[in-house]
Amino acid sequence: MTPFVTIQNLTKRYPPRNGKGEGILAVKNLSLTIERGEIFSLLGPNGAGKTTTINMMSGLLEPTSGEVIIGGYAITKNPLAVKKLIGVVPQEIALYPELSARANLEFFGKLQGLRGEELAKRCDEVLEFIGLRDRQRERIETFSGGMKRRVNIAVGLLHKPSLVFMDEPTVGVDPQSRRNILEAVKQLNQQGMTVLYTTHYMEEAQELSDRVGIMDHGELIACGKQIDLIQQTKVRDAIVLKFLPEQVAQAQSILRDLPFITDLECEGDLGEKLRILSDHGRQALPHIIRALDDHNLIPSAIQIVEPNLEMVFLQLTGRALRD
Ligand SMILES: Nc1ncnc2c1ncn2[C@@H]1O[C@H](COP(=O)(O)OP(=O)(O)OP(=O)(O)O)[C@@H](O)[C@H]1O
Ligand SMILES: [Mg+2]
């Protein structure tokens, strides 16, 4: 089946500000597909090129080269047909602060071609969906960060798009609003909406996505199902043991030659933790406990860290996602 979204060799070079030099190559030759009905996350640190990619996909920014095809329409050739299919929730909150939530929705709804009863009905529905129906007459400038984010999301949903782009929709919100937003994304997806979600939070990509594209410095450095990405890169399990700082050296020498252990690293502010890398963390654990016990060395905490997308990023780039 043809994918719902196909991105082919998409590239964006921003022109240099002073007309000199080569400018910034923000997206480099990016290709990927998104299937109808999936939640696809673009995960990457600040400046990776996520917003630039989304802006090219929504027709806001002209690609330097390459093409985006959504629902069979090429964005550069048939932008209006694409715009009917997509809803955009921009990273920067785009609302009129002095207008009420409802007035903002009515304004943006009209821009999207909604009128009369249909507009009123859709405003009611999206306000209900974001849980702000009882606050709809209040001005945006009196709202909390999380409430503004929710209205920002509602704007992108007004015309019932088949595909919604959500660009870091949880930045700057409290944990409860963040939870609400993540649940809303899942609910929209269950109702059949395809979602392209960008984030620099590994946990969000991990919780939401069917497939993940990892971006760094404008390039897609990995793409696929989470489990496949983790397996492909051969990221190992980690077992973290906490000791008194003066016990760590002894623990290290006891554990160094045990089976299943591939590497040992000290960590923690006082070097009080030992990170043990293993291809078979669960098999290694009993050996570790027994060996330590033989020397009367009891760790005060034990944590098994299963491989995750953060580790995939670390292995591919040598950096942590949020450095
Ligand atoms: N309008 C612009 N003009 C020039 N350079 C730009 C412009 N917008 C973005 N850039 C540059 O392009 C690169 C990618 O930026 P982009 O905003 O796409 O990244 P991002 O992944 O969305 O980052 P963040 O997580 O911080 O939102 C960065 O180096 C940025 O400085
Ligand atoms: Mg961005």
Residue nearest to atom 7 of ligand 1 (CA): 14
Q: Which domains, from first to last, does the chain contain?
A: 5-231 (3.40.50.300), 236-306 (3.30.70.920)
Q: The whole model's pTM is what? A: 0.87
pLDDT of 236: 80
Residue nearest to atom 29 of ligand 1 (CA): 47
CB proximity list for 107: less than 8 A, separation 6 or greater: 96, 99
Give ligand 1 pocket residues (Cβ under 6 A): 14, 24, 26, 44, 46-52, 91, 168, 200
Atom of ligand 1 nearest to the CA of 44: 21
Residue nearest to atom 28 of ligand 1 (CA): 47
Distance 122 CA to ligand 2 centre (A): 28
What is the C-alpha to C-alpha distance for residues 150 and 132, in angstroms, rounded to an integer? 8
pLDDT tens string for the chain (323 positions)?
789 999 999 999 999 888 788 889 999 999 999 999 999 999 999 999 999 999 999 999 999 999 999 999 999 999 999 999 999 999 999 999 999 999 999 999 999 999 999 999 999 999 999 999 999 999 999 999 999 999 999 999 999 999 999 999 999 888 988 999 999 999 999 999 999 999 999 999 999 998 999 999 999 999 999 989 988 877 788 899 999 989 999 999 999 888 888 888 888 888 889 999 888 878 888 999 999 999 999 999 999 888 889 888 988 888 887 75
What is the C-alpha to C-alpha distance for residues 14 and 27, in angstroms, rounded to an integer? 9
